[in-house]
Structure 1
Amino acid sequence: MKNYVTLERAKQHLNMDHDLDDTLIEAYIGAASEAVKNYLKSASAYEPERDSNDDPILDSSGDPIYVEDSAGDKIVRYAVQAAVLLMVGFLYKDRDENPDSAFDRGYLPKPVTALLYPLRDPALA
């Protein structure tokens, strides 16, 4: 699975200017990206191209066409990037516990779900 944010972006979010925890942060990025993907279920984390009415543009098969960067990679929605960064922050700050009770066991933190909920496909269980 492709991670939704880069190591550099996560370190910027954490206000980190050293490389000592890079391996740990990369693991958190992977875990946070997987958690976000699981929460979204079948909904896409990528930004769809939109027409002048702000409706997604579909290909001949009825699938959305996604915005791509100059390298041809799909662009991750801002809400998804923010959710992953928040999750990385929670994992990095509170490595062994949940002292602020920001989330219940088995659930994502409330700020993360607030960003993702509108994107989620609720029809799938």
Structure 2
Amino acid sequence: MAFLIVTIQEARDWLHLDDAETDAVISRALSASSRAVVRYLKWQAGSILIIDSPPNSPPDDLTNVVDDVAMAVLMLAGILLKERDGDPDGMFFDVGQLPKPVTALLYPMRDPTLA
């Protein structure tokens, strides 16, 4: 089941995707990005997104998703869709880390715990 924090249409509009990208491909990128954002936010995701058991159940109401979280998901999905051959130059991903622009949006909301 897809775990979406933003809609497929929002992704199409923001990323300027045409019909060449199927909804299934976009949905997978959004689902992976949404889960990565929820994992990064840790237990704070439940209260920020009003989810019962993150990252297993997506928010019921996508109209109230915080803009910073929605933009982080869109940015990460865009990187995943456009960098399909990976990240050979290491521009976006460090092992175990989100890309810096995504982290910059989410960091203020994250619980400052260790590990």
Give TM-score scaled by structure 2 length.
0.77
Q: Residue in 2 aligned with 1:110?
A: 100
Q: Which runs of 5+ in 2 are unaligned?
A: 51-59
More helix by share: 2
Q: Which of these residues, 60, 73, 76, is aligned with residue 61 of structure 2?
A: 73
Partner of 1:119: 109
Contact kept? 1:41, 1:124, Cα under 8 Å:
no
Cα separation, 2, equivalents of 1:120 and 1:105? 19
Kindly provide the CA deviation profile for residues 81-117 of structure 1, in whole angstroms up to 9, marking residues without a partner as x: 0000000000000012114512212211000000000
Quote the residue 2:49 is aligned against.
Answer: 46
CA distance in 2, matches of 1:46, 1:18: 30
What is the aligned length?
101
Partner of 1:29: 30
For residues 81-100 of structure 1, the aligned pairs below 5 Å read: 81-100=70-89
> Contact conserved, 2:3 with 2:35, CA < 8 A, in 1?
no
Percent identity, please: 46
Residue 19 of structure 2: aligned partner: 18
TM-score, normalization by structure 1: 0.71
SS at structure 2 position matched to 1:10:
helix
Q: Determine which structure has more spread, i.e. the larger CA radius of gyration.
A: 1
Please give the root-mean-square deviation of Cα atoms over the aligned residues, in Å. 2.1
Please, which runs of 5 or more residues in structure 1 have no aligned partner?
48-71
Amino acid across the alignment from 2:72 = A
